[in-house]
Chains A and B, each alone.
Chain A
Amino acid sequence: MHKLTIPLSDEVVRELKVGDAVALSGTIVTGRDAAHKWMIETFIKKTREPRGDDLQVYQTLKPLLQGGAIYHCGPVVAGLDTGEYRFVAAGPTTSIREEPYQGDVMRHFKLKAVIGKGGMGAKTLAACQEVPAVYLHAIGGAATLIARSVQRVVGVYKMDFGVPEAMWVIEVQDFPAVVTMDSHGGSLHAEVEAASRAALEALLAS
């Protein structure tokens, strides 16, 4: 078990290999479909003018994301009426939907870890090698268990995206995950897909 604390250094990231179990601690930010589209269009490709609180949110999140982790998660949150937020259920969502955006987001913010489920593709794997960074696979559906590693909700941004899509800043302690894509080009997802493709071809021919 590798105990990791954010911010992550290049050295720590490079030591991590596919298959390593990790326990991550520190401040991380949730971001999924709406957040990735917003970051790319407004700050990276700049095809959309910043409006409302966009620039302010960007300035706040930038130092948290640098050397940090983004978590593909749409939580169930208590305390929406009082603002005393508490994560009730917070498992990962399917990461592959962010494949068109993720690599560029990682390079722009110097993100060292992407947490999600189901794995990602070649573009993200290339960014993992360049930045360097890792993809951490959390257990899909294990929402109550993972919520227990969330010690505190520090803040929330872009609430207009809705509760699941908003960017939640949370402090986690020993968040459990497995490295399935590393900074050396290793991807468990590519391996499993290749092996299962061969098995499928045999079964289709039988």
Chain B
Amino acid sequence: MRDLTDAFLELVRRAATDLPPDVEQALREAREQEEPGSAARSALDTILENVRLARENSTPICQDTGTPLFYVHHPEGWSTRALREQIRAAVAEATRRTYLRPNAVDSITGKNTGDNLGDEAFPTIHFEEVEGDELIVDLMLKGGGCENVGAQASLPDTRLGAGRDLEGVRKVVLEAVFKAQGKGCAPGVLGVAVGGDRGSSFLGSKEVLLRPLQDSNPNPALDELEQRLTQQANQLGIGPMGFGGKTTVLGTKIKGMHRLPASYFVSISYMCWAYRRRRMVVRGDEIAYS
């Protein structure tokens, strides 16, 4: 098996320094929505200028380069052990080159490892064997500010009048956006999983964030809820950075999961405006990034 360490390093560099075009587009549209001269518009101007500078200089968009979350889809015959070693080597090198901040802190001793290599879940690497002959690796960098404002609800919730249906989902998601205020670096993107157990539900709420920002949900009921939630979250008026304004979220992505009859979890992962995700596809000798 070939050594892809350098290719993974390039994937990390792109993810940390080059904001995906769909996110930048959404930020530009948000800027046009905000009143000229408002703090909201000025915040978005600063954000867009920062995106440009980071890309130009190959420096991190945000200093919190987050938890590196790798999603590896590999054909039959690839060694996941070798891939893990190469990914870990690339992450350590990316830290030396200041594409990443050393972020892995031992929770018991308080020591930072200095190279972003922690236990088996840091960096997080998901493996999935797939058909075909392409190795596809998605990388998402999710910072702590937005991770901290994520939420999980167990329905029904009498306080909110939220039952076990999509109307109940709507209520708990809106409350989570309200509680986040500007602390998750609004305008954010909402990843929502309905169902699962507590663990799979949170994983699902992150995976759904890999969808392109401007796509639509193939399930008409979820598509309608995604649009409604985006629109209603923006009616909260929290605005960019919590300064007040029209854009509180850039989009909402929802997925349904199977659950136990007894459980009905709704998990919300809040992704900050610095929605860093990049893909690498290896086909024979070719390596393509998007």
Interface set of A (CB-CB < 8 Å, partner B) = 19, 21, 34, 73-78, 88-91, 93-94, 96, 117-119, 137, 139-148, 161-165, 176, 178, 180, 188-189, 191-193, 195-197, 199-200, 203-204
CB pair B46–A34 under 8 Å, yes or no, is: no
B181 and A162 contact, CB distance less than 8 A: no
Cβ 8 A contact of A192, one of B63, B112, B160, B243: B243
Nearest CB to that of B240 among chain A residues?
A: A139
A-B pair count, CB < 8 Å, reads 169
Q: Are B236 and A199 in contact (CB under 8 A)?
A: yes
Residues of chain B contacted by A21 (CB below 8 angstroms): 42
In angstroms, Cα B172 to Cα A200, docked, is: 11
Bound together, the chains give a CA A144 to CA B17 distance in angstroms of: 9
The answer on a CB contact under 8 Å between A176 and B46 is yes
Complex: A204 Cα to B232 Cα, angstroms: 10
A88-B98, A90-B63 as given contacts; A141 in contact with B182, CB under 8 Å: no
Please tell me if the beta carbons of B62 and A203 are within 8 angstroms of each other in the complex: no
Contacts of A191 on B, CB cut-off 8 Å?
Answer: 244
Question: Would you call A78 and B50 a contact (CB within 8 A)?
Answer: no
25 A–B pairs (Cβ distance < 8 Å), ordered by A:
A75-B101, A76-B59, A76-B63, A89-B98, A118-B242, A119-B182, A119-B183, A137-B243, A139-B241, A141-B47, A142-B49, A143-B64, A144-B54, A144-B57, A146-B50, A147-B59, A162-B114, A165-B112, A196-B181, A196-B238, A197-B178, A200-B178, A200-B236, A204-B160, A204-B174
Looking at the assembled complex, report how far the CB atom of B176 sits from the nearest CB atom of chain A, in whole angstroms.
11
Chain B residues with Cβ under 8 A from A19's Cβ? 39
Partner of A204, one of B42, B61, B98, B171: B171
Return chain B residues, CB-CB under 8 Å to A199: 235-237
Q: Does B2 contact A (CB under 8 A)?
A: no
Closest partner residue, chain A, to B104 (CB atom): A162
Contact assessment for B60 and A118 in the assembled complex, using a CB-CB cutoff below 8 Å? no
Interface contact A34-B244, CB-CB below 8 Å: no
- Please judge, given known A-B contacts A195-B237, A196-B181, whether A74 and B64 are in contact too, CB under 8 Å: yes
Q: Using known A-B contacts A90-B63, A142-B50, A203-B232, determine if residue A192 contacts B105 with beta carbons closer than 8 Å.
A: no
Chain B residue numbers with a CB within 8 Å of A90 are 63
* Whole-angstrom distance between the Cβ of B59 and the nearest chain A Cβ: 5
B residues sitting closer than 8 Å to A (CB atoms) are 39, 42-43, 46-47, 49-50, 53-54, 57, 59-65, 98, 100-103, 105, 110-112, 114, 143-145, 148, 160-161, 171, 174-175, 178, 181-183, 185, 232, 235-239, 241-244, 272-274
Are A139 and B112 closer than 8 Å at their CB atoms?
Answer: no
Where chain B touches its partner, the secondary structure class is loop
Q: How far is the CA of A180 from the CA of B183 in the complex (A)?
A: 14
Q: Which of B47, B112, B143, B183 contacts A96 (CB 8 A)?
A: B183
* B102:A143 contact, CB within 8 angstroms: no
- Residue among A89, A94, A137, A139 making CB contact with B101, cutoff 8 Å: A89
B62 touches A89 (CB 8 A): yes
Known contacts A188-B244, A191-B244, A203-B235; is A140 also within 8 Å of B174 by CB? no
Residues of B within 8 A of A96 (CB): 183
B98 contacts A144, CB within 8 Å? Answer: no
**Chain A residues closer than 8 Å to B160, beta-carbon distance:** 204
Q: In the complex the two chains form, is B243's CB within 8 Å of A180's CB?
A: yes
Which residues of B are found within 8 Å of A165, using beta-carbon distances? Answer: 112
Chain B's nearest CB lies how many Å from the CB of A160? 8
When the two chains form their complex, are residues B241 and A117 in contact, meaning their CB atoms are under 8 A apart?
A: yes
A114 and B239 alpha carbons, distance in the complex (Å): 22
Structural contact, B47 and A164, CB atoms closer than 8 A? no
B278 → chain A closest CB, angstroms: 17
**Chain A residues near B103 (CB, 8 Å)?**
164
- Report the separation of the CA atoms of residues A21 and B43 in the bound assembly, to the nearest whole angstrom: 11
In-complex Cβ contact of B49 among A88, A118, A145 (8 A): A145
User: What is the bound-complex CA distance between A20 and B247, given in angstroms?
Assistant: 21
A204 and B274 CA atoms in complex are apart in Å by 29
Give complex CA distance A91, B232 in Å. 29
B40 to chain A, nearest CB (A): 11
Q: How far is the CB of B19 from chain A (nearest CB, A)?
A: 10
Name the residue on B nearest A176 (C-beta): B46
Contact of B145 among A118, A139, A161 (CB under 8 A): A118
Residues of B within 8 A of A143 (CB): 50, 54, 59-64
A178 CA / B144 CA spacing, docked (Å): 23
Give CA–CA (A140, B44) in the complex, Å. Answer: 11
Chain A residue nearest to B19 in the complex (CB): A141
In angstroms, Cα B142 to Cα A69, docked, is: 28
A162 touches B50 (CB 8 A): no
